[in-house]
Structure 1
Amino acid sequence: MLKGAIEYAPSTFEERGAAVAFTTPLLSQTRVRRGERSKLEVLIPSLSQGMGIYVVAWKAVPDMVSMTMHDRYLHDLIVKEDACSPHEIRRATLKAARRGLAGPQAAQAARRALEEDEEQSTLTHYLLILAILKAVGLESPEMLKAGIDTDEGQRLTRQLMTRAAESLKMDATLLYSRLADIAAVTAPVGLARSPRPGRLTRGLNDLKAFRDSMTGWANDVPSDAAPVAQFCAEVAQHTIAIGDKVLGDFHRRVEAIGPLMRDWDSEIVRVRAQAGRMAWLLDGWSHITGAWEVAQAEDHHQQAATVNDLFRILPLLPRKESSRDFVEDAKQVKLAHRRSVRMLEDWRTGQMDIDAIRRIEAVKARVP
């Protein structure tokens, strides 16, 4: 089924779907979601020079498009795991990249990303233990000096956490369980006072840099793509404004760890919701910010082509998430986009484009 890209505007993040990091140019950053009867389907924008979105059954994609080996493996993995949230799609993407099917640099980047995830999880868990102890007045210089990764440090930690559980009037096992739940939810975002920002916080910072760079390019480079670049910057800014508010609320709730533990049933739902909302807000942007960073080494002609490509996959906010109708604004940009595309004589044809695949793999070589 074909829907016009400008007329089509999802109401929710789930309807918009999660972006998939395929290396086949035609499929790059297409979105997967649950359709009728909960079956996976993919949204493929602009199969021709028209502005359209095809809604295709997920299992039918390999029959429609000539896919790289990496993409066939990733496609099968998503079907097998029935994945369609940003977290699930990222996990499948890292599994595929780690096998080396998108090149050795992408494999190395995937391994680094998984290692950083593990390190971030450990750091978050440790900082949350310190926060709980501080909240009940049990800060311990001896534990900090010993280090939590030593036998003595772990003994002191268990002793202090048992006392903290008593202070909070709960079983120590329950306290540890809730701590693990909070750490799992918090690690991708990161704690406000953490020496290392979480992956999603870094993504929000990257988006701010992208907004500034795209605005500068639109002002400095005379091109038919300049209005398109300005529109990309405006969508980024609107996403940033919402993201800053969500992040602030998330950090306030997690920092109030005593009330979070006491009002667990209601507060953990809110914390999970804000973490999930951050993931959906930033879904698809890491490829865009990475692609624009890679394009900085290119000439203005290739940068203009990149701007047009990014417009095609721009993560417009769903209606329920935004007070501004970017779909209406996109109508004003569409003519400039088409003029620029015709000038560049560069558009997706569905055939294998080796240079385009290499550019996509260069983006994947960055740590996700």
Structure 2
Amino acid sequence: MLKGAIEYAPSTFEERGAAVAFTTPLLSQTRVRRGDRSKLEVLIPSLSQGLGIYVVAWRAVPDMVSMTMHDRYLHDLIVKEDACSPYEIRRATLKAARRGLAGPQAAQAARRVLEEDDEQGTLTHYLLILAILKAVGLESPEMLKAGIDTDEGQRLTRQLMTRAAESLRMDATLLYARLADVAAVAAPVGLARSPRTGRLARGLNDLKSFRDSMTAWAQDVPSDAGPVAEFCAAVAQHSIDIGDTVLGDFHRRIEAIGPLLRDWDDAFIRVRGQAARMAWLLDGWSHITGAWEVAQGEDRQQQAATVNDLFRILPLLPRREAGRDFVEDAKQVKVVHRRSVRMLEDWRMGRMDIDAIRRIESVKAFAP
């Protein structure tokens, strides 16, 4: 069901929806959310170049748009899993890409990312064990020397964790369960003292590089797309400001592992909420930073076209999260954006654009 174009100024992340990495140009980075009666619906930017969006029942999308095979599979998967959070959408996206439906490079990248996720989870779990033992004064050179992946290392770890549970005045089974919960929440974000940066922390760093590159491009390249690029950089900066604050607070709470485990009911809800907020805050940005990275190898005209295309899918912060109204700012930039688009004669249409699909697939291979 098509509900028609509406003004797009969401109040919450959930109302904004999670970005979906479709390869069909018209649907690329459209957002899915729960609508009436908790049914999934997709938000499609208005084709009239306005700031409105079309709200479409999720199940009706294949009947409205000619979709690639990858997108039909991903669409069915999201329906099947009833997914609409950034974590769930990412998991479905990686499953679809791993099947090779978005090309061999995207499939290879998806397999690599899934392996990295597993490795990050294992590393985070190990580092949290060390943090717990340190917090209760049970650091063990013997355990470190043996290695946690050996039989002797695991035996020493069990002994020490049992003693740690006694120090924390909780059952060892409960300690292990809470440790697993913290590790699952912390792995995507990353620990402050980890030798490997977490995915979300890395995404925040990528966003800072995007901001710097977009600002420099706007200054160096005379183009009607310059003000659009400056706006993109400003939106990125606002997300960065909030992201730095959330990430810093998240790391401080995780490092206070003893109080976190003891004051569990309240403390873990806060930590889990901060991790979810980081995921929502960065949702949709990986495609944008990846697309801009790919555009660095193209000519200035194509870069300007990329700037204009990215403007339409910028993850504007919801009203409750933002300290300023970027929707109103976007309306002013939109005048320049229309002029730049007309100059380039480049606008996404409903027809199947093979070149555009290939560009999107190259981004998926770069940043799945």
SS at match of 1:187: helix
Partner of 1:26: 26
Q: Which one-letter code corresponds to 2:242 in the other structure?
A: I
Report which stretch shifted further, 300-309 or 50-59: 50-59
Secondary structure of residue in 2 paired with 1:359: helix
Q: Is 2:286–2:367's contact at 8 Å kept on the other side of the alignment?
A: no
The residue aligned with 2:126 is: 126
Q: CA deviation at 1:50?
A: 4.0
Letter in 2 for 1:2: G
In structure 2, distance between residues paired with 1:215 and 1:189 = 27
Cα displacement string for residues 210-256 of structure 1 (whole angstroms, at most 9, x for unaligned residues): 00000000001000000000000000000000000000010000000
Name the structure 1 match of 2:188: 188
d(CA) in 1 for partners of 2:189 and 2:322?
Answer: 21
Contact 1:48 1:349 in 2 (8 A): no
For 1:42, the equivalent position in structure 2 comes to 42
Greater shift, 41-50 or 311-320, is seen at: 41-50
- Within 5 Å, give how 1:153-302 maps onto structure 2: 153-302=153-302
Whole-Å separation in 2 of the counterparts to 1:218 and 1:88:
35
Deviation of 1:52 after TM superposition, in Å, equals: 2.8
Distance 1:51 1:319 in 2: 16
The alignment's C-alpha RMSD in Å is 0.8
Residue ranges of structure 2 left out of the alignment (5+ in a row): none
Sequence identity (%): 87
- The answer to whether the 8 A contact 2:290-2:367 is kept is no
The whole-number CA distance in structure 2 between the counterparts of 1:331 and 1:81 is 36
What do residues 152-202 of structure 1 show as CA deviations (whole Å, max 9, x unaligned)? 000000000000000001100000000000000000000000000100000
The DSSP-based 3-state class of the residue aligned with 1:358 is: helix
Deviations 1:64-89 (A, max 9, x none): 00000000000000000000000000
Provide runs of 4+ in structure 1 moved above 4 Å: none
Tell whether the 8 Å contact from 1:20 to 1:89 is kept in structure 2 after alignment: yes
Structure 1: unaligned runs, 5 residues or longer = none
Query: Alignment length, in residue pairs?
Result: 366
Deviation at 1:318, TM superposition (A): 0.1
Q: Distance in 1 between matches of 2:47 and 2:20?
A: 17
CA distance in 1, matches of 2:246, 2:289: 20
C-alpha distance in structure 2 between counterparts of 1:15 and 1:269, whole Å = 21
- Separation of aligned partners in 1, 2:33 and 2:202: 25
Q: Distance in 2 between matches of 1:292 and 1:46?
A: 23
Q: Residues of 1 paired with 2:80 and 2:47: CA distance?
A: 26
Aligned 8 A contact 1:34 1:40 in 2: yes
Distance in 2 (CA, whole Å) between partners of 1:49 and 1:238 is 24
- Tell me the CA shift for residue 8 of structure 1: 2.1
The residue type paired with residue 126 of structure 2 is Y
Match of 2:357 in 1: 357
Classify the secondary structure of the residue corresponding to 1:349: coil
Deviation string for 1:273-328 (max 9, x for gaps)?
Answer: 00000000000000000000000000000000000000000000000001110011
Is the contact made by 1:135 and 1:257 (CA closer than 8 Å) also made in structure 2? yes
